[in-house]
Amino acid sequence: MRTTTGLFPGGPPRPIFREPFPVRGGAVALGMVGGGLWMMLFGLLASTAGGYAWITIIAGVVAWLVALALVRTGDRGAAVGIAMSAAVGLSIAMIVVAVRWVGGDWILW
């Protein structure tokens, strides 16, 4: 290691910032599985396309509230997985609504 000339003093080392609760892949995967099961079980309760859309919207909002609570308490990996699963479930429900809407039937009213 070379010694410095003194023209550019070294100074103290830069601080290293670390996450207090790092996001781990396993927690994200478990959150995705849990969120996927949540959305699937609520989707299976519906008997019509309109019922499926409304139940999925309600289940997605509840899942996002749970994800926000998990972010607040520190398990951000599971919160990410749950939010991703809820987003996929809501996207599928909105595709069903859009397909029925293109066919001339608005199923949300």
CA of 3: how far to CAs of 9, 38, 42, 49, 66, in Å?
A: 11, 61, 67, 74, 55
Tell which wins on pLDDT, 17 or 62: 62
Are 63 and 35 in contact by the 8 Å Cβ rule? The answer is: yes
Where residue 32 falls among pLDDT bands split at 50, 70, 90? very high
Q: Is the pLDDT of residue 52 over 80?
A: yes
Alpha helices in the chain (DSSP H): 25-44, 49-73, 76-102
Spatial separation of the C-alpha atoms in residues 31 and 64, rounded to whole Å: 12
Share of the chain above pLDDT 90, in %: 75
pLDDT at 2: 62
- Decide: pTM greater than 0.85: no
Two tokens at 42? Answer: 């609520």
pLDDT tens sequence across 4-29:
666 766 677 778 888 777 889 999 99
pLDDT attached to residue 3? 65
pLDDT value of position 4: 61
**Residue pLDDT, tens place only, 65-96:** 999 999 998 889 999 999 999 999 999 999 99
Residue 22: its pLDDT value, please? 83
Domain boundaries, the chain: 26-102
